[in-house]
Amino acid sequence: MRSAAVLLALFASPVLATEVSLDLLHFDGFEAPAPSAFRLGALLLRDPHVFVPVPLGPVTLCADATDLADVGLNPQIAASLAADANTDGRYDTSPLLVFDPLRGDGAPGHVVSRSGDCSVATPLQCTPDTLAAATRSYRAFTLTGSDRCLEPLAGTTSTWSGAAAVPQPGGHCYATTAADLVLSAGAVTIPLFDTAFGAPVPASTGSTGGGLLRGFLRATDAATITVPVNGSTMTLASLLPGGAGSCRANVVGGVDTWNGESGWWFYFEFRQDAATL
């Protein structure tokens, strides 16, 4: 299965529940520090996994193509994020998180997910695009114990043999309010609802891993999205556990619900690479 890079679109306190609670924030408007940008230098689907039918003689195997070397979904995303096809010294695709401003002191802030133009050379230099994008509110927390800034929703993940777990950022981390977001994978666009970001508060230089992007894909949308697989075309639903036409029909936690609709909660792990604007 081929995939290109995925483009990335409250005054509250920690509660006894594991995940922090966020409400809308009210900003005083007196401060206007410079924004900080971070390129998503890695983006990996942790749940659900994707499966493709592989004919092998008289039988057809159901192969987990999520992390399959070279041809799997995550390796293809990694290759896309690292690509500079025309060797102009700029990444072909650069999803950004732009904080306005970046705050780790618990005060509120705004953050926008948008694409940009970034240098391959270090130090990483980026210019965000000017297209309209949803602005989210966020706040940083300093958590202890089992408290998390963001985590999988109960009963919405599955167990994959030997696979990396869905990250659950805690400690000094931030969480955003929810907004809808469209992910683009080459010619394929995937609408995700109620997406939220949670991650360790990133360092001002270098890279900070362990972030979590969470969002819901409706089964009705997945059934209309087509993707190229082994020279043919399949619906996205047929690649997901429990989806119509899937070779993995019976997976515990495979199909989820959101606002009364069936579908899948998607969980991506991401890394934030500090950039100069």
pLDDT along the chain (277 residues), means of 10: 34 50 56 84 94 87 90 86 94 94 92 94 94 90 96 94 94 97 71 97 96 97 89 90 92 90 96 96
What b-and-e string marks burial along 10-29, b requiring 16 or more CB atoms within 10 Å of the CB? Answer: beeebeeeebbebeebeeee
Task: Kindly tell me the burial class for residue 31, based on how many C-beta atoms sit within 10 Å of its own C-beta (0-12, 13-18, 19 or more).
Answer: exposed
pLDDT at 3: 36
Give the model's pLDDT for residue 13.
34
In this predicted structure, what is the pLDDT of residue 73?
Answer: 84
31 part of a folded domain = no
Is position 14 within any domain? Answer: no
At 254 the pLDDT is 86
Q: What is the pLDDT of residue 15?
A: 39
Q: Nearest 5°: CA angle at 79, between 173 and 74?
A: 60
Write the DSSP string, 71-129: TSHHHHHHHHHT--TT-SSB-S--EEEEEES---SS--EEEEEEEEEEBSSSSPBEEE-
CB 273 within 8 A of CB 38: yes
3-state secondary structure of 246: coil
Q: Which helix (H) or strand (E) holds 265?
A: strand 261-275
Token pair for residue 237?
Answer: 């639903």
**Total of domains in the chain:** 1
d(CA 233, CA 179): 30
Contacts of 33 (CB under 8 A, 6+ apart): 101
User: Tell me, what's the pLDDT at 21?
Assistant: 77
pTM of the prediction?
0.88
Instruction: Enumerate residues 6+ apart whose C-beta is below 8 A from 213.
Output: 8, 43, 195, 196, 197, 266, 267, 268, 269, 270
How distant, in Å, are the alpha carbons of 123, 152, 225, 253 from that of 220?
A: 43, 22, 9, 18
pLDDT, position 157: 94
Tokens matching residue 228: 């190229």
Which 8-state DSSP code applies to residue 243? S
6 domain residue, yes or no: no
Q: What's the domain range around 246?
A: 36-275
65 close to 1: Cβ distance less than 8 angstroms: yes
Encoding tokens for residue 277?
């604007």
pLDDT of residue 32: 59
**17 in any annotated domain:** no
Q: Answer whether residue 28 is part of any domain.
A: no
Q: Is residue 9 part of a domain?
A: no
pLDDT given at position 25: 47
A 10 A CB-CB count for 163 gives 14
Q: Does any domain span residue 257?
A: yes
Tell me if 3 is assigned to some domain.
Answer: no
